Structure 1
């Protein structure tokens, strides 16, 4: 009796499995052919090509073109400070005045010695012509004159050093030594510092691929320099500052796989100061044609990206693609698609490869009926955007 019940249970399970498979297979066939209504209706959009500027993002720091530490050339007591912290100063502008009385006295003494030596030399020339003095005496007077002249020059230089002047144009920092203090050459601490402001550098590290792709193009002297756009930490998704690549280092760091690069940009208003964090985007000199699609058209299959292309026979085809960054709301497809092809943008999860569909053409951007507008000017894209998760082309890579 127990065995009979067991056989009945097994038979019921098998029957249920067969019935379930029958309805599942019927549903799958109906899904591929739109059920009772025929082919499945889907929204499709036409793949577009646009001229884009390929870019790569990095992080860096602003750096002064010229950076000067102000130190005394002679010793003395600071009598006056001629600036305030944060002032813009010009080269040659007085910054500190030292007690110069000793240096003025030294100039007077040297002047007297020079006058005496000059007179002796002039008299010696007359006496030598009259053969009153020997040639050796004449040479001695000439040497004395030269020493007196050098001593006067040195005394005047020391007097000039008593007024410490700005060596460069720029923004001056605070005075680390105040009035009344005695300063001297060789001091460990600088009196103050000056950082040039306009133009200003941005230093950042670039990877090997970016160097070879963008910077290596400069080997052609007729080619344009790579474009550089810079943003501050407060500029979320915009790069308002324009510059150009100034230079790159002469070697790649094998430990990090990167090398130092430097961009230069104008800073007429002086708002950018050395040390600020910067986001940098390096772009190729010329535009390239890239395929653009809506993110809704791109599916994820583990680590792969794919789209469904609708052919002329209105049947779908699975197509693996490689994607880049976003441009005006559209995803860049680096390879796998051609301009003019139709891709499914709505109903992607219901479509099977080879299924017949009824396509409704919609706008690639808005996914509604209409025409997709072209991006405003050359668009920008990061060619190295990861395939696992979409990211904006404006997101910089962080340096270690």
Structure 2
């Protein structure tokens, strides 16, 4: 894989760390800015909304810019938003900065996904995507625990400064590693398809269905991931420090899954879905049944991380294939699918929690989402050609 892909993954790592680390910092943020924890939780919602709306909006605004210019602008805005966040003493300013960071994150990821697909051969989009998504999985392994430790030792503002500083080498990598004009830029020129034509690709049933499947799988993933802490402490009866261990196990599994899927998603996507989908469903059922046993919990969390990202990464790669006629907007469709799932899954999972219900409702909700995805995916397993198959 080309070096620029790994440089883009550094920025994805910084952005993924920012997105996930906030949950552990909310109590300190609330106390520092003198707002209730529930109000501070709006920072997470604002980021999710910004990611969903920002992907197509930012990609549409930047579609006539060179990819390098777009990526550099987005990563610098992201860094600036975190610097403002670290300096502010007002919650409203922090909320606005968080939304700005989400828009920049969504725009960067949308352009990066499309750019990554143009830096490799046409039949290697899945492998290119796996490199970018590896940045997200490494964030769950290293970035999120690191942000939590930094926040605990030096305060939540230090974590925001760290993200801002981490964006600087990522920006240098974009300048150094991304060509001044890519194939994507040429396709976006006067001879390329217009914005209306690219948006018109959304009328294709296969594209919409693959986006829906990606959203369902990602919703299942983050539905349980968001509520792993009470499963570890309440259901399994482990001490609080074990939460970090379980999160790292999930991240390690995710990294393994997205890496292996990158080898198969271009040429054998049907195999990944046909085998990985049922195994993922069985894994959620097993986790809901055996989570009280720490040994089983550790193994299943690792396995579910691997299967979730293998299946989800494969489906998101298929979005890029199905959106081949939308050279500048295809990445935004993939980004939107990812974030609709990331935002909707925890909402559904939260609805299963309540007095007397225990902590395993989110796991059953994840299984339910995967069952729906498998039913919808059945018609798509009939073809296996790289350019047409899911």
State the TM-score, normalizing by the size of structure 1. Answer: 0.17
State the TM-score, normalizing by the size of structure 2. Answer: 0.18
Which has a greater percent of strand?
1
